Amino acid sequence: MNPQLLELVNAAASGKRPHFFGDADVDRLLAIVWAMAGELAVTRERLDTLERLLAERAVVQQTDIDAYRPDAEAARERGEWQMEYIARLLRVLQQELDALRAASAAGGPNPPAQE
């Protein structure tokens, strides 16, 4: 995996992001909430697969899941996943910040915050 390419995952399309509500913060918030809804569905689907496989093979009981504690390696992996997850949710803020930074790096006046 090329880390420079991974940084491009959350790139914004050129052109101004439209806003539909009287207050553009509502659009931002909805974008975050909706990304979260998507990720919840992703998790739910994975969990559903897992539960069905476990039940099919009679491997794990509900009580085993409740009693599980991650070791150091598992905890680290979970932390990395959380960071990627949060970046996905807060994409909309990161993109605006990137644009601001790019304008500032170009030496021009900072663009006004999108209405």
Partner 1 sequence: MSASATHDDIARFNFLANFNKYMATVIAPGNAVAFRERVEPAWTQRQGEPPTTRVEVRRAMADDPHYRFWSALRRSGMEMRQQAGRSLVLRQAESLAARARELGSRHSAGLRLDASVAVPRYQSELDNHCMPGSYYAEYFEGDVSAAANYDAGMFATTTGLFGRFLDGAGRGTAAWLQRTRPGWQPRRILDLGCGIGHNTVPLARAFPEAEVVAVDLAAPMLRYGHARAVGMGLRNIRFEQANAESLPFADRSFDFIYSTMFLHETSHSALRRILDEAARLLAVGGLQVHLEQPPYRGMSPFEQFMRDWDCHYNNEPFWSALHETHLPALLRERGFATESVFETEIHALVEDEMPKVGNETEDFGRGGMWYACGAAA
The contact set with partner 1 (CB under 8 A) reads 1-2, 4-6, 8-15, 17-21, 26-27, 30-31, 34-35, 37-39, 41-42, 45-46, 49, 88, 91-92
Q: How far apart are the first and last CA of the chain?
A: 37
Give the shortest CB-99-to-partner 1 separation in angstroms: 12
Cβ nearer to partner 1, comparing 50 with 103? 50
Cβ nearer to partner 1, comparing 20 with 68? 20
Cβ nearer to partner 1, comparing 46 with 101? 46
Cβ nearer to partner 1, comparing 1 with 72? 1
Give the shortest CB-15-to-partner 1 separation in angstroms: 5
Give the shortest CB-91-to-partner 1 separation in angstroms: 6
Give the shortest CB-13-to-partner 1 separation in angstroms: 4
Q: Find the length of the chain.
A: 115
Q: What is the gyration radius of the CA atoms in the chain, in angstroms?
A: 20
What is the C-alpha to C-alpha distance for residues 7 and 2, in angstroms, rounded to an integer? 9
What is the C-alpha to C-alpha distance for residues 34 and 29, in angstroms, rounded to an integer? 8
Short-list 80, 86, 96, 79, CA closest to 32? 86
Short-list 95, 77, 111, 110, CA closest to 32? 95
